[in-house]
Amino acid sequence: MSIYLVTGGAGFIGSNIVEELVNQGARVRVIDNFSTGHLENLRTFRNRVDFRELDICNLADLKKAVEGVDYILHQAAIPSVPRSVIDPIGSHNADVTGTLHVLWAAKEAGVKRVVYAASSSAYGDSEQLPKEEAMRVSPISPYGLMKYMGEEYCQLFSSLYGLETVSLRYFNVFGPRQDPNSQYSGVLSRFITAMLSGQRPVIFGDGEQSRDFTYVSNVVQANLLACHSSKAIGKVFNVACGDRITLNRVVEILNRLLGSHLEPIYEPTRTGDIKHSMADITLAKVNLKYIPTVGFEEGLRLTVEWYKDYMKKA
Ligand code: UD1
């Protein structure tokens, strides 16, 4: 039976991938250094995974963890635009050097395929919408650049060493287990938890920036398809819903879902932010047979329910 290794598997997206693999009866190994992940994220299926606490920056330990693995789903990263602006070297170590380590360890161990969590932030602030994979990238934050460097390493490892790699450019993923507690947390986790506590959400800028918010189960689906599709090797795919919504509209929808009337507080725009983001997902649909099955509003409803429970326990 194949062994799947999920790096960053105690994090938000990683733990959702792990859960699905476990539900499908797969053998799963998880590594995480808890820089942004939590063991709590694995609680309900902890005894069904081989968990190892380690940092992908530690190549010797990583090599041991990769032994015998067939597929790597590489989610470990410091996943924040503003944090990369404040600490580019720390982010670079995790996001670029860490990714190089994962690829090298995979190549050395004869892993079948590495699926890499790339980012739509590589597109930067170019005017063209929707974003297509063939567009020229022009990142405007260290994070966008780093995530793009990871993709380039993946493609190089495919062509130079014959290691099968696939890069998935995620667009603003949200859903259960996204940690709302850091100033770097994803916007929806911050809005939902603030508004559930009766607080006004803080919008950086005028709220007219838009994102292609993607419910996490769609991203899980794309990862599993990318492991096995013969048309995926050495390629880059957008993973999103192919739609966009402004932050002002998000607040309106949340007020409706929660039965509240909370007005946003507007603060200055964040450095490194892009204005609009929306994906063309044709390539993933055609090559991976990816279909986003949970749309924005349904995903938001599911996420609100999850945070209600989470906040009761906190
Ligand atoms: C997000 C991801 C990044 C991913 C990228 C891909 C997170 C934390 N970051 O970056 O990993 O690669 O999408 O598209 O998930 N905002 C507020 N109020 C808040 C927090 C944020 O108004 O309390 C605004 C931000 O200024 C920004 C927008 O919401 O304009 C989205 O911010 P954020 O959720 O941090 O995501 P991205 O920076 O788009």
From the CA of 172, how far away is ligand 1's center (Å)?
Answer: 7
Number of domains comprising the chain: 1
From the CA of 212, how far away is ligand 1's center (Å)?
Answer: 11
What CA dihedral angle connects 214, 119, 79 and 167, to 10 degrees? 100
User: pLDDT category, 184, cuts 50, 70, 90?
Assistant: confident
From the CA of 296, how far away is ligand 1's center (Å)?
Answer: 16
The pLDDT, as a whole number, for residue 276 is 95
Whether 310 maps to a domain, the answer reads no
The bridge status of strand 113-119 relative to strand 202-204 is unpaired
Cβ of 179 closer than 6 Å to ligand 1, yes or no, is: no
Q: Is the pLDDT of residue 236 over 90?
A: yes
Whether 282 maps to a domain, the answer reads yes
Whether 198 maps to a domain, the answer reads no
pTM of the model: 0.97
Half-sphere exposure of residue 9: CA atoms within 13 angstroms, side-chain side: 26
Cβ of 140 closer than 6 Å to ligand 1, yes or no, is: no
From the CA of 153, how far away is ligand 1's center (Å)?
Answer: 25
The pLDDT, as a whole number, for residue 129 is 95
What percent of the chain is modeled with pLDDT above 90? 96
Nearest atom in ligand 1 to the alpha carbon of residue 267 is: 22
Instruction: Provide the CATH number for the domain around residue 110.
Output: 3.40.50.720
Q: Which amino acid residue places its CA nearest to atom 26 of ligand 1? A: 204
Average pLDDT over all residues of the chain: 97
What percent of the chain is modeled with pLDDT above 70? 100
SS3 67: coil
What CA dihedral angle connects 94, 32, 164 and 119, to 10 degrees? -50
Q: Is the pLDDT of residue 183 over 90?
A: no
Q: Is the pLDDT of residue 272 over 90?
A: no
Whether 178 maps to a domain, the answer reads no
The pLDDT, as a whole number, for residue 93 is 98
Residues 58 and 98: their CA atoms lie apart, in Å, by 8
Task: Kindly state the tokens that stand for 243.
Answer: 């739609």
Cβ of 190 closer than 6 Å to ligand 1, yes or no, is: yes
Whether 163 maps to a domain, the answer reads yes
Give 68-101 pLDDT, tens digit per residue.
Answer: 999 999 999 999 999 999 999 999 999 999 999 9
Nearest atom in ligand 1 to the alpha carbon of residue 188 is: 34
- Could you tell me which residues come within 8 angstroms of residue 144 by beta carbon, excluding any fewer than 6 positions away? 81, 119, 121, 122, 123, 124, 137, 272
Q: Which amino acid residue places its CA nearest to atom 5 of ligand 1? A: 172
Nearest atom in ligand 1 to the alpha carbon of residue 191 is: 23
Q: Count Cβ atoms within 10 A of the Cβ of residue 51 and give its class: 0-12 exposed, 13-18 middle, 19 or more buried.
A: middle
Residues 13 and 46: their CA atoms lie apart, in Å, by 16
- The pLDDT of 289-310, averaged and rounded, is 98
Whether 114 maps to a domain, the answer reads yes
Cβ of 193 closer than 6 Å to ligand 1, yes or no, is: no
Cβ of 189 closer than 6 Å to ligand 1, yes or no, is: no
Whether 311 maps to a domain, the answer reads no
Closest CA to 119 of 80, 179, 184, 171: 171
Give 102-152 pLDDT, tens digit per residue.
Answer: 999 999 999 999 999 999 999 998 889 999 999 999 999 999 999 999 999
Whether 220 maps to a domain, the answer reads yes
Domain that holds residue 112: 3-172+215-242+278-293
